[in-house]
Amino acid sequence: MLKSIFYPTQQNAFIWLSSIYLLFLLYIGKASAISILFAYFLETIIIGIFNALKMLWSILYEKPKSSNYGLILFFLVHYGMFVAIQSLFGFSLFGIEGNGILKEPFNIIENYAIILNLEDIKYALPAIIFMHLGKFITDYIQQKKYLEFTAKEIMFKPYLRIFVQQFVVILSSFFIVLGEAGIIAAILLIFFRLVIDLCLDSIKKDSKTLDYLSEKLENEKATKEDIKKQLIVFTE
């Protein structure tokens, strides 16, 4: 089963390419540890944007036709509140490091502007966008998954990744605060995210990972098929 998770395939190619590219940027000195950290931090927003696009596609091709476009607006507002709370938490942790880059945590918009204006963020951030754009086109659009899920099902999907993002922020901040080996910390973060993303990506329809997890989680309240559907939705 480990081979089916970590072996490079067409399905997980964008995850591998994104991670390799970030490691290459570190190697040639075009990205710093802090830019890698901020790129992953900004990924929360990128995930929300692509999730809204998935909802839009599901609504456009839903049968019977519906006009649930209000769900997208509701998601953007609700998700935006989570992003704001995460931003306050993240900016507070970054402030502990004391490098003077960011303003007070409540200056959310100004802090994001500072991050986006960092010299090497323009090299690191495209790797994250590239990964999600590639997966959106090749996995969601080409595989016609918008016919399998409703907008309401997809609406709550990214919150699992929010917790992953928050954990990455906490772990990254501890690395920065407790040690001076920024490059080593960045490399560890890239490998950590690579493992997490590959594991989540492997939970697909008819996959060995999905069968294994559904068998382990099956109980009296939820059948194996019910658990499969929930896992697919929350890791889509």
What's the pLDDT at 64? 75
Identify whether residues 191 and 224 lie together within a single domain.
no
Question: Domain for residue 5, yes or no?
Answer: no
pTM of the prediction?
A: 0.88
What's the pLDDT at 219? 76
- Give the whole-angstrom CA distance, residue 112 versus residue 103: 10
Identify whether residues 141 and 210 lie together within a single domain.
no
- Give the whole-angstrom CA distance, residue 24 versus residue 40: 16
* Burial degree of 221 (CB within 10 A; 0-12, 13-18, 19+): exposed
Question: Domain for residue 2, yes or no?
Answer: no
Identify whether residues 53 and 138 lie together within a single domain.
yes
Identify whether residues 131 and 16 lie together within a single domain.
yes
Q: Print pLDDT tens along the chain (236 aa).
A: 677 788 888 889 999 999 999 999 999 989 888 888 889 889 989 999 999 999 999 999 887 777 788 999 999 999 999 889 888 888 887 766 555 677 888 888 999 999 999 888 999 999 999 999 999 999 899 988 888 888 888 888 887 777 776 777 677 666 655 555 578 888 888 898 899 889 888 888 777 888 777 777 777 677 777 777 777 776 76
Question: Domain for residue 108, yes or no?
Answer: yes
What's the pLDDT at 79? 92
Question: Domain for residue 3, yes or no?
Answer: no
Identify whether residues 118 and 218 lie together within a single domain.
no
Identify whether residues 43 and 107 lie together within a single domain.
yes
Domains contained in the chain, number: 2
What's the pLDDT at 117? 92
Identify whether residues 196 and 220 lie together within a single domain.
no
Question: Domain for residue 1, yes or no?
Answer: no
Identify whether residues 194 and 216 lie together within a single domain.
no
Identify whether residues 115 and 166 lie together within a single domain.
yes
Number of residues in the chain: 236
- Its domain, for residue 71, covers 10-201
